[in-house]
A = this chain, B = another copy of it.
Amino acid sequence: MQKMKKMREKRRIYLDHASTTPLSARVRRVMAPFFDLSYGNPSAIYKEGVVAKEALREARKTAASVLGARSDEIIFTGSGTEADNLALLGTFEAARKKTPHFITTVIEHPAVLEACRYIEQSGGSVTYLPVDQKGIVRPENVRRALTPKTVLVSVMYVNNEIGTIQPIKEIGRMLRSYRDKEKSRFPYFHTDASQAPNYLPVNVERLSVDLMTLDGSKIYGPKGVGMLYKRRGITLEPVIRGGGQEGGLRSGTENMAAIVGMGAALEEAAATREKESKRLKKLQEYFFSRLNEVLPKAIVNGSRSERVPNNINICIEGLDGEYAVLLLDARGVACSTSSSCRTLGENSSSYVINSLGNGRRCAGSSLRFTMGRGTTRRELDTVLGLLGEVASLGARR
């Protein structure tokens, strides 16, 4: 009995799935043979290589089918960050001599923002679009920022901190007709969809995107693998150069286990999407509905409607967010204050929340809970039960 109680106490409540997810048991099984049984290099021409090449082909086909894309449009990378870099820096490098212009938003992931900073330092220019109070970028702002020099627009599908869903389809359609009108190949449209596949369709045709980033470590797949969808006809320069793997766009011996795992994880995300979204939407609504019972002044950061169902991000005025995370940690709850990925030199307050209307009060006083496949209502009850105490202990003095 004592032991049972101890075990229950020890059980952690993990609510940081936007930071990283555990590996799905099924995905892990699919990956297993590629560590030691089927370890061939797909560049080799003998049997072990052919087997690996076939598995690579299958993983690419699986990934492409989830996106409604063609196999030759899939480039496997070492991370979501690398896929973002390949989209932005690869476009920049191909157009470098023409002092190209880029459009992005102030709420992008550091993988996009730091690539943009490099572009600015290297002779390109970048427009950073604001978001509205709800954390949504307006398509008409994208339209207004376009210049004849614009080569790429990069807008994330789902924000990693506040979970807001950006109007990708609208922006994609607008850019498509802009290109038609201007009779130009540019601008390309890139979206970082790392946080999307568990909850939203990622069909590249329906979204009208030309480049799309995905990340294994956010969809119950392995860490150390990402993917860039690149529409046929789009020209990029590689970021990593060498043996010419991945159509010359990403050199290095293929990480077979991870690539096969990426394909399986994407497939699983698509298969569980509808059911899991409904389940989490209910939990999210439950949390929001009970939040003000516990903390009357707490507010939800970002749109409630245009939001993935697993994201809860709340502002508690006066809270020391980082300290509150540690208080919750000591009570068995893993959550975060902003993203776990920060731009260099930034402090712990959130540039995403700072960009919302109430940013100044909330940037350092917010908590992000991101639910996942294992999250239960009971866990949310526990968190809700802790919030009052945490808000009071964690208040700035």
* Beta-carbon contact of B252 and A78 below 8 Å: yes
Assess whether A28 is interfacial by the CB under 8 Å rule: yes
Chain B CB count within 10 A is highest, among A12, A47, A339, for A47
* Beta-carbon contact of A251 and B81 below 8 Å: yes
* Beta-carbon contact of A252 and B82 below 8 Å: yes
A-B contact pairs, 12 of them (CB 8 A): A20-B39, A20-B253, A22-B36, A44-B334, A44-B336, A45-B322, A46-B325, A46-B329, A78-B78, A89-B241, A215-B253, A222-B255
Residues on B with beta carbons closer than 8 Å to the beta carbon of A21:
39
- State the number of copies, please: 2
The number of residues on chain A lying at the interface, defined by a beta carbon within 8 Å of a beta carbon of chain B, is 77
- Complex CA distance for A55 and B256, rounded to whole angstroms: 24
* Beta-carbon contact of B44 and A340 below 8 Å: yes
- Complex CA distance for A214 and B16, rounded to whole angstroms: 33
Assess whether A242 is interfacial by the CB under 8 Å rule: yes
Please name the 4 residue pairs, one residue from A and one from B, whose CB atoms are nearest each other, closest first: A78-B78, A224-B255, A243-B341, A111-B242
Contact of A43 with B19 at beta-carbon distance under 8 Å, contacts A35-B222, A224-B78 already known: yes
* Beta-carbon contact of B36 and A223 below 8 Å: no
Residues on B with beta carbons closer than 8 Å to the beta carbon of A256:
223
Assess whether A217 is interfacial by the CB under 8 Å rule: yes
- Complex CA distance for A335 and B49, rounded to whole angstroms: 10
* Beta-carbon contact of B40 and A244 below 8 Å: no
Which one, B25, B45, B242, contacts A341 given CB within 8 A?
Answer: B242
Residues on B with beta carbons closer than 8 Å to the beta carbon of A115:
241-242
* Beta-carbon contact of B241 and A85 below 8 Å: yes
Residue of B nearest to A25 (CB): B36
Residues on B with beta carbons closer than 8 Å to the beta carbon of A286:
none
- Complex CA distance for A220 and B275, rounded to whole angstroms: 41
Contact of A40 with B28 at beta-carbon distance under 8 Å, contacts A242-B114, A244-B344 already known: no
Residues on B with beta carbons closer than 8 Å to the beta carbon of A344:
244, 248
Interface residues of A in 343-374 (CB under 8 A from B): 343-344
Distance (Å) between the CB of A174 and the closest chain B CB? Answer: 28
- Complex CA distance for A40 and B47, rounded to whole angstroms: 37
- Complex CA distance for A111 and B244, rounded to whole angstroms: 9
Interface residues of A in 60-105 (CB under 8 A from B): 77-82, 84-85, 89
Distance (Å) between the CB of A319 and the closest chain B CB? Answer: 15
* Beta-carbon contact of B16 and A44 below 8 Å: yes
**Contact pattern, A 221-251, Cβ under 8 Å of B = 1, otherwise 0:** 0111110000000000001111111001001
Residue of B nearest to A79 (CB): B252
* Beta-carbon contact of A253 and B341 below 8 Å: yes
Assess whether A120 is interfacial by the CB under 8 Å rule: no
Contact of A223 with B78 at beta-carbon distance under 8 Å, contacts A12-B48, A340-B43 already known: no
Assess whether A219 is interfacial by the CB under 8 Å rule: no
Distance (Å) between the CB of A189 and the closest chain B CB? Answer: 20
Assess whether A128 is interfacial by the CB under 8 Å rule: no
* Beta-carbon contact of A40 and B23 below 8 Å: no
Assess whether A110 is interfacial by the CB under 8 Å rule: yes
- Complex CA distance for A7 and B251, rounded to whole angstroms: 37
* Beta-carbon contact of B243 and A80 below 8 Å: no
